[in-house]
Amino acid sequence: MRKSFFKKATIAPILLFLLFFLGQNNRLLAQTNDYVFTGTVTDRASNVPVPGVSVFLENTNRGASTDFDGNYRFTANLNPGQYTLVVNSVAHKTQKITITLGGQTQVQNDFQVVEDLLSLDEVVVTGNVVGINKRALGNNISSVNAENLANTAAVQVDQALQGKITGALVTQNSGDPAGGISVLLRGASSLGGNQPLYILDGVILNNASNELVDIGGNTQNRLADINPDDIEKIEVIKGAAASAIYGSRANNGVVQIFTKKGKVGPAQFNFTSSVKMSELRKKIDYNTAPLAWVDPFDRTNLETVPVERYDLQEEFFDTGYGIENALSVNGGSEDMRYYVSGAYLNNEGIIKNTDFERINFKTNLVLDAFDWLKVTGDFNYARSVSNDIPNGGINSAYGAITGFLFSENSINPAPNESGVYPVTSLLVPRTNPAEAVERFEFGNKTNRFITSFKLDAEITDNLSASYVFGMDYYNQSATAFIPVGNTSPNADGFARRSDLNNFQYNSDLNLTYQANITDDLSSTTTVGGTYQFQEAERIGIQATGLPPVVETASNGSILEQGETRIPFSLWGGFIQQSFGFKDKLYVNGAIRTDGSSAFGKDERDQLYGKAGISYIISEEDFWEQGIGDIFNTLKLRAAWGQSGGLNALPAFSRFTNFAPSSINGQSSLLLGTQLGNVDAAPERQTETEFGFDAGFFEGRLGMEFTYYMQDVTDLLLNRELAPSSGFSSRFESVGKLENRGVEILLRAIPVRTDDFTWNLTATYTSNENKVTNVAGQQFALAGSFATNYVIEGESLGVFYRQFYARDENGDIVLDDAGYPVRGTTEDGSSSKVIGDPNPDWYGSLINELSYKNFDLRLQFDAVQGFDVFNWNRRLLDNVIFGGGSNVGEELLGNRPKGYGSAQAGIFEEFVEDGSFVKLRELSLSYSINEPWEHIDRIKLSLVGRNLISWDDYSGWDPEINTGGQSNVRGFDFAAVPIPRTYQFGVNVSF
């Protein structure tokens, strides 16, 4: 497999270079002159200079960006003749003028640009490295630029995306310093994971959540290694109509991350330093009654004794502090541009003795080797280190928050004079939370290299080529240590070590041919091919019974040791065709074919297609002469596409596997319990979307609307088999689900003057998810304590458990003793659907106000109409544990003794409305322009994140999710709540 790859990876560049040299013409021999291009770019409505606008010569690398005063200047060595000068900005309409270069070498042109809140002239990337104008697309693609990612107090790239994109539900699963983030695009589309495909500058990234040691619901995903300060732009491809070109890995959408590049000119430095403080936003109400039951199990015995109560939350929550520094420099000549950066982050968590440290180094070099050939090299290194405190959760009984939930809070958790911590959980073996944060040592270390080599060539005036080789490698090492003589279930000590090496690369070659068939009709044809390889190797060892002071697993009693090696390869190609008529009507389509080592022999060739149409009707004469003065822009669009999903297809699932064993001391193999499937194939998604983009009042108001219909077939399920088959299950493509949704984006500039600007952005997304077919009708999702279910006709992951018996008025039925009664359905079942963790809708409201040198930004996020299962309260309210406030109400006689114990078996009680509105981001900054010689700008900023949450949830935070990136959602059990964060920063440009 590897040999075949290196042959392919070697042939591609050789063919590319042959095309380069064959395609050259005699223009290189012509006489050239040094031309100097200068001018100023201002806003047409306000006449205010516009910084950051790109001014360049079309189809060349010659150009510059405007400075703070809107001025641009660049030089270019060119042949005399006609050229097109382009003025491009994400927030403004693109302008083009034709210029004739002759003997006059000073070229002066001023421009007035018009707001374009819809960004129709923005160039977006499809097909990994192929750029296309957004106006030509029939589908919706969302973009977020560097300005929207700055001053958010987010330490992870995907965390900074919250509330900024329609159709993207971004959830922070844990409040740990590097807690995992889930990104769900247009609803769940698989039972095997729903995270999108991530691509960084053409390199396919691994964003797995590797739980090498069990620390509860705060498993990191590997985007935590990326420095957000290096990001220039993020493009989110949500639908199959766009992601079809990525084939069998794109069912869940694609997130493309583009990092900053060097610009022509002298070296420009940017230094940022910030300090952070994180704190618990609110506490859970706990038992403060100064009494305890003599016998908590006998409901009739109301005898109590006086006790002192302790707030155990004080034992493990604390204020966390952090610091972040970043320095970058960019510049270069017309022939070579560079960008170099370094960053350091150390951020403490709100759980005592937890933190996350990250060191980043990046360098990017762009070399114009010839007029027709550009070479780009990119290197990223990251080292991430976390100190973690386990919080129990699904798989383990040890941890700080787990101990809090099971503890009787009338016991002083502090150690005695000998340093021995008391047992606080009296009925089941759980950890004293004070001991967990002081004595347990868990952590992760990751070293990661992401690098790429790219060639871009203009072979002829019409034909261009691009080749990229990208590599992503990381080693993640995790350790866990619980010392001998502790209050956890592992009283004789526990140690674990697990290491993962993940190595992957992609080799992509694309050829694009652009031509004008007539004066009105243009054609763009792109042909591309890819080869991708990934190999994950994991080894682990786990032991208990440690000798005193020993922390390594190899010196204890081995409980488990193992090794896995999983290779994977994928190859494919595509052809994409687009026609444009008068730059306002576009039709495009593509076909993608894939093969993979994960597919069955007869399923190796997967074919995906897409088609789209867009029509900018507002550029017709009848429109411009009619309502064009008010209704400036209207683009109608429609698209259809297919893509595939590999996340649910386990490694080697097409084989019937054997397990090693030993018989009488002799090595042997036993047949596994899962039958192989020779027809293993990826899940398949088909989606249709319709929409429009509209602009009003000279670009001051813009609206995007999209309606989509998504159907997933061949849903992979672990189907149970009859015992007579000799096997318990087999992965089969037998399920179906669907998503239907609406996305709305509004952008407006209510006020714009010389001194004051008010920008407004609002997003709204609603999605209806339904499982339309599953084998066996229903089953529980792993990792949910059999609470989240897959049920035909219901949304994915609904809560399905016991419920209250109710009378004809809907009131809860009580027995003769006054305790609630469990209900039954008409068919005699004790369980039914009692909640849905999928929101009815979510959205955001962002206000950006600028007055002279002051900038104020407020972002409100809303997620409405979803339920949370509060496992924490199920334990806290139970009198046999005794830590919750409702147990105190029983002790005070305000409700019957043991009422919470009776409720514990009726799960409906613990399903709560999780709807919330959050003040997600609040930032205030002040800029000082050119305060001293050689200093361009100093910017001071104060940022708050997750400051306020308006909700009715009784727990710490309804946004939390112990299930992480899985399909188990709305599940709150022993997870670290999301903190309130404050940040003060200084940015210096020079």
639-690 pLDDT, tens digit each: 999 988 877 777 787 788 877 777 777 777 888 788 888 877 888 889 999 9
Task: Flag whether 90 is in a domain.
Answer: yes
Q: What is the mean pLDDT of residues 797-822?
A: 93
Residue 59 pLDDT exceeds 80: no
Task: Flag whether 61 is in a domain.
Answer: yes
Lowest mean pLDDT among 111-115, 125-129, 448-452: 125-129
Condensed to tens digits (0 to 9), the pLDDT of residues 568-614 reads 899 999 999 999 998 889 999 999 998 888 888 788 888 999 999 99
Are 489 and 583 part of one and the same domain? yes
Residue 23 pLDDT exceeds 60: no
Q: What is the mean pLDDT of residues 93-117?
A: 86
Task: Flag whether 673 is in a domain.
Answer: no
Are 699 and 556 part of one and the same domain? yes
Domain boundary among 121, 137, 156: 121
CA 470 – CA 468 distance, rounded (Å)? 6
Q: Are 510 and 466 in contact (CB under 8 A)?
A: yes
User: If pLDDT is split at 50, 70 and 90, which confidence band does 956 have?
Assistant: very high
Domain total in the chain: 2
Condensed to tens digits (0 to 9), the pLDDT of residues 363-378 reads 999 999 988 899 999 9
Note down the domain range covering 52: 2-121
State the greatest distance between any 2 C-alpha atoms of the chain, in Å, as a whole number.
105
Contacts of 940 (CB under 8 A, 6+ apart): 925, 926, 928, 984, 985, 986, 987
Residue 446 pLDDT exceeds 70: yes
Q: Are 7 and 14 in contact (CB under 8 A)?
A: no
Maximum mean pLDDT: which of 150-154, 551-555, 597-601, 907-911: 907-911
Are 105 and 198 part of one and the same domain? no
- For position 9, what pLDDT does the model report? 45
In 105-148, beta strands by DSSP E: 106-108, 111-113, 123-126, 130-133, 141-145
User: If pLDDT is split at 50, 70 and 90, which confidence band does 392 have?
Assistant: low
User: If pLDDT is split at 50, 70 and 90, which confidence band does 699 have?
Assistant: confident
User: If pLDDT is split at 50, 70 and 90, which confidence band does 127 have?
Assistant: low
Task: Flag whether 744 is in a domain.
Answer: yes
Q: What is the CATH number of the domain that holds 948?
A: 2.40.170.20
- For position 726, what pLDDT does the model report? 78
Beta strand pairing call for 304-306 and 231-237: unpaired
- For position 375, what pLDDT does the model report? 94
Lowest mean pLDDT among 67-81, 125-139, 379-393, 478-492: 125-139
Residue 20 pLDDT exceeds 80: no
Q: What is the mean pLDDT of residues 142-167?
A: 88
Are 594 and 718 part of one and the same domain? yes
Q: Which of 982, 937, 9, 983 is nearest to 467 (CA)?
A: 9
Lookup result for tokens 């698989």: 190
Task: Flag whether 432 is in a domain.
Answer: no
CA 776 – CA 828 distance, rounded (Å)? 19
Lookup result for tokens 């060191």: 359
CA 179 – CA 326 distance, rounded (Å)? 22
Q: What is the CATH number of the domain that holds 67?
A: 2.60.40.1120
- For position 732, what pLDDT does the model report? 79
User: If pLDDT is split at 50, 70 and 90, which confidence band does 185 have?
Assistant: very high
Are 591 and 699 part of one and the same domain? yes
CA 31 – CA 103 distance, rounded (Å)? 12
Are 447 and 575 part of one and the same domain? yes
Are 555 and 602 part of one and the same domain? yes
Lowest mean pLDDT among 146-155, 733-742, 851-860: 146-155
Are 101 and 172 part of one and the same domain? no
Are 185 and 272 part of one and the same domain? yes
High-pLDDT (> 70) share of the chain, %:
95
CA 569 – CA 206 distance, rounded (Å)? 14
- For position 10, what pLDDT does the model report? 45
- For position 5, what pLDDT does the model report? 40
Task: Flag whether 884 is in a domain.
Answer: no
Task: Flag whether 418 is in a domain.
Answer: no
pTM: 0.89
Q: What is the mean pLDDT of residues 824-839?
A: 93
Are 499 and 573 part of one and the same domain? yes
Are 490 and 620 part of one and the same domain? yes
- For position 731, what pLDDT does the model report? 78
Q: What is the mean pLDDT of residues 744-748?
A: 94
Task: Flag whether 924 is in a domain.
Answer: yes
Q: What number of CA atoms fall less than 13 Å from residue 753's CA on the CB side?
A: 5
Q: How many CB atoms lie within 10 A of CB 949?
A: 20
- For position 22, what pLDDT does the model report? 45
Contacts of 659 (CB under 8 A, 6+ apart): 669, 670, 671, 672
Mean pLDDT of the residues in the chain: 88
Residue 779 pLDDT exceeds 80: yes
Q: Are 480 and 460 in contact (CB under 8 A)?
A: no
- For position 17, what pLDDT does the model report? 47
Are 366 and 472 part of one and the same domain? yes
